[in-house]
Amino acid sequence: MSRHARFTIDADVTPKFTACYLRTAGDECAFIEAHTAHARSRLLGALAEHGKKPEDVRWVVVTHAHLDHAAGASALLAACPKATLVAHSRTAKNLIDPARLIEGATAVYGAARFAELYGTVTAIPKERVLVLGDGESIELGDAKLTAWNTAGHAYHHFIVDDPATDTVFTGDTFGLVYPALQTHGLFALPSTSPTGFNAEEAQKSLDKVLSLGRRSVCPTHYDAHEETQAIAAQVRRFVDRAGSWVDEAARSDEPTQAMEARLASLWWAAIAEEAPHFGSDEKKLLALDVELNAQGLAFVADALRGKPR
């Protein structure tokens, strides 16, 4: 029987904000999430810290194609010569040919800011990519890691079930659970960033995670948690609110910019209801997520009312 272990890697310049996970099984190992190209040295450092070499990496698994999860995949594969990328079919397509991902993000941030945020993203050879469908598995040592499709945050999202460590790697399906926001009690916020939010699918995805019955969930943002029922309950409350906000916005003729501002205010009000003790530090940490969440809901509302972007 192989020895199984899971290690959290703090991948971001903001402490305990974005995690990648190193999963070891005897002589083999895998990374769950790749973050950005700037995180490669941290991931390779974790390998060395745990007595592993780049040649020991069999799999690099990304839960979806959003750049804070997958932009570093090409750099990581370049450093790990025997590794294969594991992804949802839509994610795989975008990483084999990342031109649209790069173009879209560059249009938002500009080339200089894109490089600062994500580093260099290059095409991954398709022969180094394995697509996993819903319920399909890979082997790591004598362990089996199974992908389950979980839409709601993004249509191309899957989670990774790991019975040998009693863990589900949840990507962004199970909310954002930043350690810095847990001082006054549990706080978990869903990510509804553009462009794939769907409240009904998000609820089904929460159900799927819970149905697996694992002791721990490992969100990309951030680290392992065992309060699975409590996290799901709070994320559900936010998702219910978000779904009703979208429905209301879709019935209006409100301009997009005004809608985004109003939705951001609704997010802040809901956060204050769930976490009345939050002060300026907590709000500063959440500012970008609230902005993106509002943009994501406005995008869906515009799509529902047939308004082009």
Are 82 and 216 within one domain? yes
Mean pLDDT of the chain: 96
Tell me what pLDDT residue 1 has.
40
Are 105 and 244 within one domain? no
What's the domain count of the chain? 2
Tell me what pLDDT residue 107 has.
85
Are 216 and 236 within one domain? no
Q: What percent of the chain has pLDDT over 70?
A: 99
* Both structure tokens of 72: 């570093």
Q: How confident is the model at residue 150 (pLDDT cuts 50, 70, 90)?
A: very high
User: Does residue 244 have a pLDDT over 70?
Assistant: yes
DSSP conformational letter for 97 = S
Question: Does 309 reside within a domain?
Answer: no
- Residue-number span of the structural domain to which 102 is assigned: 4-178+192-226
Tell me what pLDDT residue 108 has.
81
- Average pLDDT score over residue span 13-36: 96
Residue spans of beta strands (DSSP E) within the chain? 4-10, 19-25, 28-32, 57-61, 84-87, 129-131, 137-140, 143-149, 158-162, 167-171, 216-219
Question: Does 185 reside within a domain?
Answer: no
Are 16 and 152 within one domain? yes
Please state, as a whole number, how many other Cβ atoms lie within 10 Å of the Cβ of residue 123: 11
User: Does residue 308 have a pLDDT over 90?
Assistant: no
